[in-house]
Structure 1
Amino acid sequence: MLNATFDAPCLTTFCRLDELGLEAIGQRLDPDRAVLSCRVVQADDWCRACGCQGVPRDTVTRRLAHAPFGHRPTTLLVRLRRYRCTGCGRIWRQDTTRAAEPRAKISRTGLRWALDALVLDHLTVSRVAAGLGVAWHTANTAVLAEGRRRLLDDPARFDGVAVLGVDEHVWRHTRHGDRYVTVIIDLTPIRDGTGPARLLDMVEGRSKQAFQHWLASRSQAWRDRVEVVAMDGFSGFKTATTEELPEAVAVMDPFHVVRLAGNALDSCRRRIQQQIHGHRGRKGDPLYAARRTLHTGAAFLTPGQQQRLDALFADERHLAVEVTWGIYQRMVAAYREPDRAVARTLMTTLIETVSSGVPAALREVITLGRTLKQRADDVLAYFDRPGTSNGPTEAICESGSGWSGTGRSGWMSVVSNRV
């Protein structure tokens, strides 16, 4: 704009104090922080008990941590006028609930900044506390309570859920306490193409009971609206879904199905490695050198990788690995097939192939076939219901894989509705 006009600078507006019902009346820059002197805009001089008008008695100051500006933490010194009722003699001070919760040490604007810093900017609680200029426990307690109030206590956050994703996650890398949590995700936006997945809840433990108890705590009307539950191969999730959501369709998502085949391929490679060489894979061993190439899709093999596999499979001692690799590649090809009807046929044929008549020497394929036969309906259900992959559940789990302790680790269940 060539002829832009600007209003006179207003510290109240710039620091967003008007949202808190405050007005800036002074400022001071200390070496380690910025200090703003404020007053409450509304007089609030009427007695809440008898309705009589009060008279000014004295003034007190409330100290609040505010959203930082620049590299300095910002502190609000809020001057509060106290009144004495002319009728009943009651004494009260001006209301500051717009600015902060009673007895809180952080303003509402400061709490919003802390939530954004923690969730969007991935700052640690220590860094958030330093930005606010408060102790670690003060920041963690206040922001955790605000996150629960805004997200977990929101009665509408379970509305519209039709597709669930459930998975377990290693949460605590210590010997104390339960190491696992059950993660429940709303995949409805993914299926409908309306947005990202939403974290609904995290439940301590990895068991049928943990997931079943969570489902049972929801209303019957809510459970009746759930159409699909995407999960891994853990039978506990399957049983809990069958008992609590009898009308919902269980879907074993591609990530975990392919991982079953990949694990079978790795187990076969290690077994043959031990049979031939008598030790684990070492540098220079053909099977060990090809361990990553074996997991590459056949359509994406480079000429060098293809030559390495040809040389590997030319050795008859590696026949079991070659057969297992072929099963793995057929499974990958089925999921990559764009025509879902054709893909379903390919997967059905594969399950029938590995479910019976497999030579005893292919013990890993036999185990894989047994699992696929037991969960055949869940595996094939994926091809009838696009958009029910459990991938977003895995992504949300992995986004917090490095968190531990009561600080940031407690946050995944509170703030990941924005994921």
Structure 2
Amino acid sequence: MPEITVVKVERVAEDEQQSARVVHIERPEEWAACPQCGVISTSVRQRRTTRPRDLPYGEQALHVRWHKRQFACKESLCPRKAFTESVAEIPPRARVTGRLCRAAARRIAAGASVAAACREYKIGWPLAHRHLIALADASPAEPEPVQVLGIDETRRGRARWRKNPDGGWEKLERFETNFVDLSGAGGLLGQAAGRTGKAVIDWLNARGPAWKNIVQIVAIDPAACYRTAIHQALPHAVIVVDHFHLIALANKAVTAVRQRVTRQQRGRRGRATDPEWANRRRLLRARENLTEQAFTRMWNDLIDHEPTGQILTVWIAKEELRSLLACARQRAPRSVISHRLFRFFSWCATSDMPELITLAETIEQWWPETLAFITTGVTNARTEATNRLIKDAARVAFGFRNLTNQRRRVRLACTHQTINPAA
């Protein structure tokens, strides 16, 4: 919070073109303290007028004219013989006001690039970035404890290589593991370099035992390294796998079978004239989102032109998996969950297709975490939304070279809605 200073408005007038409002201000006190020795002085040596830039008054520009006084320091032992009065909002030799710089910093935190904020407020890049750093560092560095934690990774850019002193090459880590509050308004809690289990364990251990004991549920993607790390760092927490990625695995199986069948039957890739290619989007769409006309067309085209029936078989398996995961939304009892799980496994087993066998094995390996999702309904959707904000921040900045600046901008981009606009 900036220091509150008192100034006296001497008069307000319009400029010659009547396009801006000119405000003349001065300090009401007839004295000032020397900034070096602190001795009060009332001896005025000269007067001068400065013109610091300020925020506009609505749609009209605002020109500030500050009539300053230069005082003489009467302390004989003070090496400073004269000083000019100043306030915290307009430090000595400043050409812009503090609130203008803070407004530019908030504009950057809201999603604009530093260059765009500089053009809008007519200030320099170093000045805008310096106040952006002050805004970012003012937020608490240590996150508050949460009950539901989301973990996911994002890539910081293209892979880069560094040459070792021994002549070999080392691949630099370009991934970040993000920790997100899924139970409150904490947003992005922090980031750790890498997408390994060690990165997760080190970040959680750095929070302390009291912080970790509050975490009850952790939502992740089907990543084995994250699951192992959570079992080690948070043995009491319930792990939930995000259902979106499970359905994505089923859609990948549908695409893999469609491409394999096309190559086996036609000896080439799919074309627009092939029924399976023409219906590729419908195969990936949910059954309830298909109109009766679209569903009938897809079904009849594949029945008539795909004699093996493998594409429809994998599509039915995908819908069986979706029906199983829909138990979370329907709050189905355990008997219904068991019945739909048996139906999915039996359909995949009788199909004798490698893609469906792999899908069924994946669901079996992740069944405790999948069941936790069905019973709790916790998803990683907010983490995925945070990932989008992280990527948008990198796009706006046209990439980052400095990791510290990137994390600072990412933290502001993911929490700018909680920044006080009047700060």
TM over 0.5: yes
- 1:341 is paired with a residue whose SS is coil
> 1:181 Cα deviation (Å)?
2.5
- 2:179 is paired with a residue whose SS is strand
Distance, in Å, in 2 between the alignment partners of 1:34 and 1:169 is 48
Distance, in Å, in 1 between the alignment partners of 2:55 and 2:99 is 6
Distance, in Å, in 1 between the alignment partners of 2:298 and 2:273 is 15
Aligned pairs for 1:220-239 within 5 A: 220-239=209-228
Residue 411 of structure 1 is matched in structure 2 by: 409
Distance, in Å, in 2 between the alignment partners of 1:187 and 1:115 is 27
Distance, in Å, in 1 between the alignment partners of 2:361 and 2:95 is 59
Q: Kindly tell me: are residues 282 and 57 of structure 1, through their superposed partners in 2, closer, same or farther at Cα, counting changes over 3 Å? A: farther
> 1:310 Cα deviation (Å)?
1.4
- 2:236 is paired with a residue whose SS is coil
> 1:360 Cα deviation (Å)?
7.9
Aligned pairs for 1:211-360 within 5 A: 211-314=200-303, 315=305, 317-337=307-327, 338-342=329-333, 345-346=336-337, 349-350=340-341, 353-354=344-345, 358=349
Q: Structure 1 regions of 5+ residues with no counterpart?
A: 1-16, 190-195
Q: Structure 2 regions of 5+ residues with no counterpart?
A: 162-171, 418-423
Q: Which deviates the most, 353-362 or 290-299? A: 353-362
1:377 corresponds to which of 358, 363, 368: 368
Q: Kindly tell me: are residues 50 and 143 of structure 1, through their superposed partners in 2, closer, same or farther at Cα, counting changes over 3 Å? A: closer
Distance, in Å, in 2 between the alignment partners of 1:241 and 1:103 is 54
User: 2:13 touches 2:22 (CA, 8 Å); kept in 1?
Assistant: yes
Aligned pairs for 1:62-141 within 5 A: 65-69=53-57, 81-87=69-75, 88-89=77-78, 91=80, 93-94=84-85, 96-97=87-88, 99=89, 107-120=97-110, 122-139=111-128, 141=129
> 1:287 Cα deviation (Å)?
1.4
1:147 paired to 2:135: yes
Q: Kindly tell me: are residues 130 and 68 of structure 1, through their superposed partners in 2, closer, same or farther at Cα, counting changes over 3 Å? A: farther
Amino acid at match of 1:147: L
- 1:202 is paired with a residue whose SS is strand
Distance, in Å, in 2 between the alignment partners of 1:267 and 1:71 is 58
> 1:110 Cα deviation (Å)?
2.2
Distance, in Å, in 1 between the alignment partners of 2:239 and 2:92 is 47
User: 1:74 touches 1:132 (CA, 8 Å); kept in 2?
Assistant: no
- 1:203 is paired with a residue whose SS is strand
Aligned length: 390
Distance, in Å, in 1 between the alignment partners of 2:374 and 2:101 is 45
- 2:226 is paired with a residue whose SS is helix
> 1:369 Cα deviation (Å)?
1.8
> 1:130 Cα deviation (Å)?
1.0
* RMSD (Å) for aligned C-alpha atoms: 3.9
User: 2:56 touches 2:62 (CA, 8 Å); kept in 1?
Assistant: yes
> 1:397 Cα deviation (Å)?
1.6
1:161 paired to 2:109: no
Distance, in Å, in 2 between the alignment partners of 1:271 and 1:244 is 42
1:390 paired to 2:380: yes
Deviation sequence 1:62-88 (CA, Å, 0-9, x none): 775533456787675656545454334
- Normalising to structure 2: TM-score of the pair? 0.77
- Normalising to structure 1: TM-score of the pair? 0.77
Amino acid at match of 2:410: M
1:186 corresponds to which of 181, 193, 206: 181
Deviation sequence 1:278-325 (CA, Å, 0-9, x none): 222221211111111112221222122112221244145452222221
User: 2:36 touches 2:78 (CA, 8 Å); kept in 1?
Assistant: no
- 2:157 is paired with a residue whose SS is coil
